[in-house]
Amino acid sequence: MSKNTSAVKKLSRNLWWSWDTDAKELFKNLSPLLWERVNHNPVELLRHISTDELEARCECEFGSRITQVKQRFEEYMADTNTWATNHAPELVANPVAYFSAEFGIHESLRIYSGGLGILSGDHIKSASDLGLNFVGITLFYKEGYFRQYLNHDGWQLEDYPLQYPESLPIEKVTTKDGKDLIIEVTIAQSTVYAQAWSLKVGRATLYLLDTNIPANESHYREICSRVYGGDQNMRINQEILLGIGGVKLLEALHLEPAVYHMNEGHSAFLTLELLRKEIAKGLKFEKACEKVKEQCVFTTHTPVPAGHDRFSRDMMHYTFDKYVTQCGIDFEQLMKLGAEDPQNTSGLFTMTVLSLRLSRSANGVSKLHGEVSRDMWKHLYGTDDPKQVPIGHITNGIHTKSWSSGFTDRFWKSHAENIENLFSSRESAEKALSKVSDIDLWCLRYRLKRNLIDFISRYLSNQLYHQHQFTPYKPEDSSRSVKSSLSPDVLTIGFARRFATYKRAPMIFQDIDRLNAIINNPVMPVQLIFAGKAHPHDDAGKEYIRQIVELSRRPQFLGKVIFLENYNLGVAKRLVSGVDVWLNNPVRPMEASGTSGQKTVLHGGLNLSIMDGWWCEAYNGTNGWSIGSGEESDNYDEQYRKDAARLYEVLENQLIPTFYERNEHNVPVRWLKNVRNAIASIAPVYNTDRMVKEYTLRYYLKEPRV
């Protein structure tokens, strides 16, 4: 193997490449067609290119580029002068262990479902960039999350293509003598075995547990089939594997975490395994609980009581009967840890309650969500006053480099002296912006929107092809004409996220005539792009998709309202960079934070959102638009109508006229002022570098620094 070939192979085995535009383009240029076909997966790409071909391409085309990228990668990996070594040296010896049921790192690794996973992925990337000693723990889901298809009626169908380890940059974890490392967990009366995989994410490592091995009975193999798949029984088994299995894995690796971070309650059973270890050392139950508490921090993401994981007493008994004995506690003690009222253990076991009881700190994911969480859980702390409740907040962010794009990257590089620090502070962002003319900025927008429209045409021809496979093509269905009708001159609004009903995707269709007038306004037209998956069991969410697809086929909306199937990280990257406006209209306060709107900002996109989650604290009157000013009502329908009316008002009276107000060069000066304000006020704050620094200084360190 030549030097270049081995360098390319090496780069493919660390997901660092996924947030380095040059590395990404290197892989893409090896074979642009194949790159699309393998879903941007370099390991798969390299499996399809013969060694000779690879050598030839590496030699003649990009020898020096490969050398450059590899050198930067090696410098990155070897850098010891990092933020963490300077600001949190206590954490260098022992890792932060971060547990999450899903990680959205790249579209080629389908072990995530939505926002929670993307957040975990962006968290681990920033932890790597900041130089934290950091390991992630999750499961390896062989079928991942589903691929979404729409049938001719617009109804969502699910498909579960398998993921093969040999096509992914994951390695089997082995013992010193070269055998597979196998972890054992007790579930009900059985022992379940899990193989461990490791994945390099820059300097950080993600470990993935996998029960899909011959040693297990088939129903235990299925624990690692699907992200959030199956019933409650499957769910509890997955959570045991993640929490208890995860702690056992760390022990087998001789890692002694400085802190265990539970990202959402799914992994809360990890506290039980820590408890078992303390009790085995000879501590009494109460003392052992205190010890566990000293080691754990917890982040909650769910602002409504119904959203929290809960298990029945019977299910707990069945599943933990044997484990509690191993643990050295009795079943009642276990139930008390997860009961909202410890005096009454006959009801449900709540994972969030367990997490809150056995963590030294807890936080929500935006300022508003912190308030909501304090109020929701105050009874656990024996108070009526939310201010007395020790739940803080750290607002979510995004990993800026991952959400940039080749084009956006080059744009900012050509205007900033120091691209590394471009969005590290408002001052540096403003400095770069001061070198960007309105025409430059408008060109960026125009170009990104054209790229998106090109992408959509290619994507749709595939999508329509599939739709017509289910039912014969109807001549009167002219949806094929969609491709040509999107225009880069038209104000483009995007809405894409999980189709959980609280996100109210169809809101903009509340008044069809009014929307028709907006979309088909002859001088100020608008086009809408939708995408999103409903959970396979969520028929109400699927019905929302069906409605939007049906509406998009009406003559007045054809080619102007688009639904893209199979929303994922790759589609998200395209959408957030291309649209002018990112729309978010959830039921306040159900969007704990939301992050997708943050992704659009560095591309010059603007947010139009309900005052919920992160937007509630980021909106300042000049950096986007708010829908209403934070009203809440207990009446769902009434709230829906009012929010929809407010949405139309902002669109008609403020947003659309601003977009179409042009100077003599046809540049929307007032609009671009908003864009500048958005970039300066949002990008430096709502990113995971800031977020992980906050976690470190406030929660990961034993002695908080802020």
Ligand X SMILES: *Cc1c(COP(=O)(O)O)cnc(C)c1O
Binding site for ligand X (CB under 6 A): 114-115, 118, 497-498, 567-569, 572, 594-596
Output the smallest distance, CB 681 to ligand X, in A. 19
Q: Is the peptide bond before 589 cis (omega within 30 degrees of 0)?
A: yes
The residue (of 363 and 596) whose beta carbon lies closer to ligand X is 596
Output the smallest distance, CB 666 to ligand X, in A. 32
**C-alpha dist (Å) from residue 105 to 116, 199, 693, 700:** 11, 11, 20, 22
Integer Cα distance of 580 and 137 in angstroms: 37
DSSP 514-548: HHHHHHT-SSS-EEEEEE----TT-HHHHHHHHHH
CA angle centred on 559, ends 557 and 560, rounded to 5°? 55
The residue (of 338 and 586) whose beta carbon lies closer to ligand X is 586
Burial 192-226 (b: 16+ CB within 10 A, else e): bbbbbbbbbbbbbbbbbbbbbeeebeeebbbbbbb
Output the smallest distance, CB 402 to ligand X, in A. 10
**C-alpha dist (Å) from residue 656 to 179, 491, 602, 671:** 63, 8, 21, 10
For the chain, give the longest Cα–Cα distance.
80
Integer Cα distance of 435 and 297 in angstroms: 43
The residue (of 43 and 572) whose beta carbon lies closer to ligand X is 572
The residue (of 88 and 610) whose beta carbon lies closer to ligand X is 610
The set of residues, in sequence order, having a beta carbon less than 8 Å from that of 434 and lying 6+ positions away, is none
Tokens read off for 137: 């723990």
The residue (of 119 and 324) whose beta carbon lies closer to ligand X is 119
Tokens read off for 338: 């997860």
The residue (of 607 and 677) whose beta carbon lies closer to ligand X is 607
The residue (of 334 and 531) whose beta carbon lies closer to ligand X is 531
Output the smallest distance, CB 183 to ligand X, in A. 30
Tokens read off for 570: 């790759």
The residue (of 146 and 349) whose beta carbon lies closer to ligand X is 146
Asked if 217 contacts 276 with a C-beta cutoff of 8 angstroms, the reply is: no
Output the smallest distance, CB 579 to ligand X, in A. 13
Output the smallest distance, CB 692 to ligand X, in A. 17
Output the smallest distance, CB 537 to ligand X, in A. 18
Integer Cα distance of 289 and 270 in angstroms: 12
Tokens read off for 390: 């020790």
Asked if 660 contacts 668 with a C-beta cutoff of 8 angstroms, the reply is: yes
The residue (of 140 and 567) whose beta carbon lies closer to ligand X is 567
Output the smallest distance, CB 677 to ligand X, in A. 21
Task: Decide the pairing of beta strands 182-187 and 190-201.
Answer: antiparallel
Distance of CA 414 to the CA centre of its chain: 29
Output the smallest distance, CB 395 to ligand X, in A. 12
Output the smallest distance, CB 175 to ligand X, in A. 36
The residue (of 136 and 594) whose beta carbon lies closer to ligand X is 594
